[in-house]
Structure 1
Amino acid sequence: MKTGQPRTHHTLGILLLIAAVSCFGAVDGFSKILIGSQSFGQIMLARYAPALAVLLLATGPRNLQGLFATKRPGLQIIRGLTPVFVGGLMVFAVRYLPLAEATVILFAGPFIVVALSGWMLGEHVDASSWVGVAIGFLAVLFVARPGLDALSVYTIFPALAAVFYALLQLLSRQLGAAGESPGTTLAWTLLVGTAVSLPVALMDWRAIDLSNALVFLALGASFGWGQHFLARAFSLAPANVLSPFSYFQILSAAIFGVLVFHNVPDVWTLIGIAMILGAGLYVFGRRSRIRA
């Protein structure tokens, strides 16, 4: 039983990460819907405040101290700031760029995770992880290729977001390996994000109609669940195992783009999606055989 437990944990971690990045793809899509009529600060606040309120109500006043109890407050604050930078940069990215292109540029992040996980986390990076991430990164180039000439200077936003996205994953794993509860990490993430975004939102508050209010609620719910799944995933599996599966966010963004913005993927996007799925299945299959 003990022999099979790590494999079970890794499998659950992979599934949770896929759920997390699917939520994040929806978050960027909802942000793109709102950015034309609502302020940047409001969109950022909607990611954090509703989820924080639900978490606090569900926890109850008697258990609040335990919820935020941590041995790594500094690391929790730094980790909490990384999704603020990722989210803020992606809000600007989807304002000026198509959702799919912005998302694929963001996905230089998993490549950075594998490159740094040995140095930052002391984890062994085997050949299958390198192959899987390399295929995924090549897929990113396939998807972005048709629009690269037209994306102009605004590509800096998702490119910088990729760096913070990699740090988010690495710090999530570092906290998970240190024994920090996923619930505690989620609580600190939502608290830090709310504290940073609230004053920015108040400086440029705009009226919210009913349709936008519903989108705000969907955005907050997607972000909250995504952060919960992400913290759980990195408490169960190493960063270099999970990183190839981060590419599944491109699927989420592509589906959202079709359903909401009617952006049908072209042949390059379809090739890239197939490569992304293949990379994830390759790494998963290789690790299953190694542990069998």
Structure 2
Amino acid sequence: MPSYSHRPETGRSRLMAIGLMCGAVLCFSLLDTSAKWLAGHMDPLQVVFARYAGSMILVSLLLNPWSHPGILRTKKPWLQAVRSLLLLGSTALNFFALKYLQLAETVSIMFATPLLVALVSGPLLGEWPGPRRLVAIGVGFIGVLVITRPGLGGMHPAALLCMIGVVCYAFYSISTRLLAAFDPPETTMVYSGVAGTVALLPIIPLFWTWPDGPLPWALMLVTGAMGGFGHWLLILAHRLAPATVLAPFIYSQIVWMVTLGYLVFGQLPDRWTFIGAAIVISSGLYLLYRERVRAVPEGSARLD
């Protein structure tokens, strides 16, 4: 088998995919930054609605029944609905938590999602983790405890919302993997925005307040645009490179979150957040390493 260095097309594709992944991570960081600012000026549910409505409008311009006939056709409508509601729940919980927590704190807790996915993939998908992976999962959850320090007065109780959001997002990730065998990613992406908007539409009058200037309106548009564009970049990235190549670059989001948290809100996380984040990220990277080792057949060449 030819080595990686002799496969220029693969190399260029992977570099482009990594760039797209980093762009997606930046979009999600800007999304959370805008959401945190807006949550201080309006009900977080209004911010969630702006995120979904704006994303739905943007996605509809690119993906619609006229440009992509049959895009709304799904083989698993109930699974699409459950997946979309899980994403909505995770987003809402995260936005409520962002009102009280620092950007770096919320993203550090959310980094535990791959650990929970690996843990529950056994009973749900039949992908049972081995002893090494179980140890890595356990160490990762210790990292989450270091960040949140429950019972020690180290973090706002809103961290619990973030942790519940991790559970929602983990099951959302698993349902996405299940749907990949039945529906194209474009169909799944359309349903995500539509379902979230439709679910929130009936209760808008209960929490809606009119923004008091152009900046809130602009940031409401940014939340929708960054959400939709970020997920579009993710789709493009995964078409060019496997998930095991791209996943480590998700953790670069901590750099953006710390930077934006300081520049926009004047906040810097404490040392416990950095220590806990390092533990969680290290555990996640080890799980990815074990996934790559399992994916390479014995005796075959490695493309590192």
Partner of 2:101: 97
Which consecutive unaligned segments of at least 5 residues does structure 2 have?
297-301
Going from structure 1 to structure 2, the CA distance change for 1:3 and 1:199 (only over 3 Å counts) comes to farther
Going from structure 1 to structure 2, the CA distance change for 1:241 and 1:108 (only over 3 Å counts) comes to same
Do structure 1's residue 31 and structure 2's residue 24 form an aligned pair?
no
Going from structure 1 to structure 2, the CA distance change for 1:97 and 1:194 (only over 3 Å counts) comes to same
SS in 2 for 1:62: coil
Partner of 1:66: 70
Which AA in structure 2 matches 1:100? A
Do structure 1's residue 187 and structure 2's residue 190 form an aligned pair?
yes
Do structure 1's residue 142 and structure 2's residue 146 form an aligned pair?
yes
Going from structure 1 to structure 2, the CA distance change for 1:153 and 1:10 (only over 3 Å counts) comes to same
Please give the per-residue CA displacement for 1:39-66, whole angstroms capped at 9, x wherever unaligned.
3332111111122112222235524652
Partner of 2:272: 268
The alignment's C-alpha RMSD in Å is 3.8
Aligned 8 A contact 2:105 2:269 in 1: no
CA–CA distance in 2 between the matches of 1:284 and 1:15? 19
Going from structure 1 to structure 2, the CA distance change for 1:152 and 1:45 (only over 3 Å counts) comes to closer
Going from structure 1 to structure 2, the CA distance change for 1:129 and 1:10 (only over 3 Å counts) comes to farther
Flag the structure with larger Rg: 2
Offset of residue 193 of structure 1:
0.7
Deviates more, 1:91-100 or 1:112-121: 91-100
Partner of 1:197: 200
Which AA in structure 2 matches 1:189? S
> Match for 2:129 among 125, 128, 131?
125
Offset of residue 244 of structure 1:
7.3
Aligned 8 A contact 1:129 1:244 in 2: no
Offset of residue 216 of structure 1:
1.4
Offset of residue 261 of structure 1:
1.3
Going from structure 1 to structure 2, the CA distance change for 1:276 and 1:115 (only over 3 Å counts) comes to closer
Which AA in structure 2 matches 1:167? F
Aligned 8 A contact 1:40 1:201 in 2: no
Partner of 2:171: 167
Give the TM-score normalised by structure 2: 0.76
Percent of residue pairs bearing the same amino acid type? 33
Deviates more, 1:94-103 or 1:49-58: 94-103
Offset of residue 131 of structure 1:
5.3
Deviates more, 1:83-92 or 1:55-64: 55-64
Give the TM-score normalised by structure 1: 0.79
Going from structure 1 to structure 2, the CA distance change for 1:52 and 1:91 (only over 3 Å counts) comes to same
Do structure 1's residue 85 and structure 2's residue 86 form an aligned pair?
no
Going from structure 1 to structure 2, the CA distance change for 1:164 and 1:286 (only over 3 Å counts) comes to closer
Please give the per-residue CA displacement for 1:235-284, whole angstroms capped at 9, x wherever unaligned.
8767x998777655444433321221121233333334444554455455
Do structure 1's residue 52 and structure 2's residue 56 form an aligned pair?
yes
4+ long deviations beyond 6 Å? 1-5, 7-18, 232-236, 240-245
Aligned 8 A contact 2:103 2:257 in 1: yes
CA–CA distance in 2 between the matches of 1:21 and 1:110? 16
Aligned 8 A contact 1:84 1:193 in 2: yes
SS in 2 for 1:226: helix
CA–CA distance in 2 between the matches of 1:12 and 1:138? 35
Offset of residue 83 of structure 1:
1.4
Q: Which structure shows the bigger proportion of residues in helix conformation?
A: 1
Going from structure 1 to structure 2, the CA distance change for 1:215 and 1:252 (only over 3 Å counts) comes to same
Which AA in structure 1 matches 2:172? L
Aligned 8 A contact 1:133 1:244 in 2: no
Q: State the number of aligned residues.
A: 289
